[in-house]
Copies of this chain bind each other. A is one copy, B any other.
């Protein structure tokens, strides 16, 4: 195996720039999964493999796999996603795939094979931007998909997920066959932008990710009584907005009791929603996240109790319905340590942080495959926006540290008993 000094992280940054040129317009990246621009990105990616001693194929769920056979059949998977949200950033997902491509290409060009088999995966539809189903490809790999629910999904133009999949060569009934790709997987690593402000605030370039937070996501409807804003005395109102406003403030008190917890009301809709009527119905969404399942359960219970108290105070009723939830997924302790080591060796200081956003890595980790992620600082903590950015110096440090983590992880895999 070659020494890491010869690895050039600039290769990955150059690939990112090429991809941006190919798939972004003035509004940002347009690599929405199952669209033409996404297919263009993937063709370009496949073209980068020409002349390398690697095997390429697309699995039953549309994930693209590149395999470089190593001295051992044991597999280290590197992965992320080329798809983006509409008007997205140039790094979200693409960084992990193209850092992986730079690393895999580097190993492929060495005289000797790597100690373990190295695989790179571009997961299909991480974002779920078009059909509202995120982690599509990785959940098929992990066996957590639900074909019945997915079959009924449609986009804004009433095109079904099923037909969009077929247009992309994927049969919805077959996606579970992606499980075959798990064979011999011994570890999974993913490099990603943080998409939050923590590293920037701490003045750090890189962080080791301890896991992905569990999420409780609910729709909450307060029902009061629509009434004329001019003729209804303050004391005779059943104002659904007042109940919702109290909850919007209370969820912050609920969250700040726990160091890493977050609670967010991201959408609040008022009905009839006109200037001359007391709000009769307020519809809110609540998103709660923590790495500790007990904390998550406690926060959910507290928010629910508070909403019932506020509804009673305002003469309203309240109903909750779960939109979606996922348990916290802690990453592998030893891989987190290796990640910290790589970061410290590259930039001097490291920091552990949980991921609030979900990632394909969570699906892989839930399956029991040792997993961790590395985060690189996001400027302003902004993502899902064309202004998403990371300093080039930080990108180069990230790719270099991630390369180091790959080396360390290969060593760890080799050291494990069969």
Contact = CB atoms under 8 A, between A and B. Distances in A.
A43 interface: no
Given A228-B384, A267-B273, A323-B275, A196 B233 contact: yes
Contacts of A264: 229, 275-278
A266 B278 contact: yes
A232 interface: yes
Interface string A246-270: 1011001001100011111111111
A149 interface: no
A276 B289 CA distance: 11
Interface in A255-307: 255-256, 260-270, 272-279, 285, 287, 289
B236 A213 contact: no
Given A242-B248, A242-B249, A198 B275 contact: no
Nearest to A263: B234
B201 A355 contact: no
B194 A287 contact: no
A245 interface: yes
B382 A229 contact: no
Contact of A233 (B231, B262, B270, B278): B262
Given A245-B248, A246-B249, A232 B196 contact: yes
Contact of A266 (B217, B244, B263, B276): B276
A241 interface: yes
B236 A197 contact: yes
Nearest to A274: B266
Given A266-B277, A267-B273, A268-B270, A242 B252 contact: yes
B241 A265 contact: yes
A377 to B, nearest CB: 12
Contact of A285 (B244, B275, B289): B275
A265 B252 contact: no
A204 interface: no
Contacts of A273: 266-269
A383 interface: yes
Contact of A267 (B262, B266, B275): B275
A230 interface: yes
Interface string A202-233: 00000000000101010000000011111111
A333 interface: no
Contacts of A197: 227, 231-233, 236
A356 B230 contact: yes
B278 A231 contact: no
Most B-side CB within 10 Å, residue of A235, A268, A287, A323: A268
Nearest to A228: B195
A381 interface: yes
Contacts of A228: 195-196, 356-357, 381, 383-384
22 contacts: A196-B228, A196-B230, A196-B233, A197-B227, A197-B232, A198-B231, A198-B236, A213-B230, A229-B264, A229-B266, A230-B287, A230-B289, A231-B356, A231-B357, A232-B381, A234-B256, A234-B261, A242-B252, A245-B248, A246-B249, A266-B273, A266-B279
Given A195-B228, A195-B230, A267-B275, 9 more contacts: A228-B381, A229-B289, A233-B262, A234-B263, A241-B268, A245-B248, A266-B275, A268-B279, A269-B269
Interface of A: 194-198, 201, 213, 215, 217, 226-236, 241-242, 244-246, 248-249, 252, 255-256, 260-270, 272-279, 285, 287, 289, 323, 355-358, 381-385
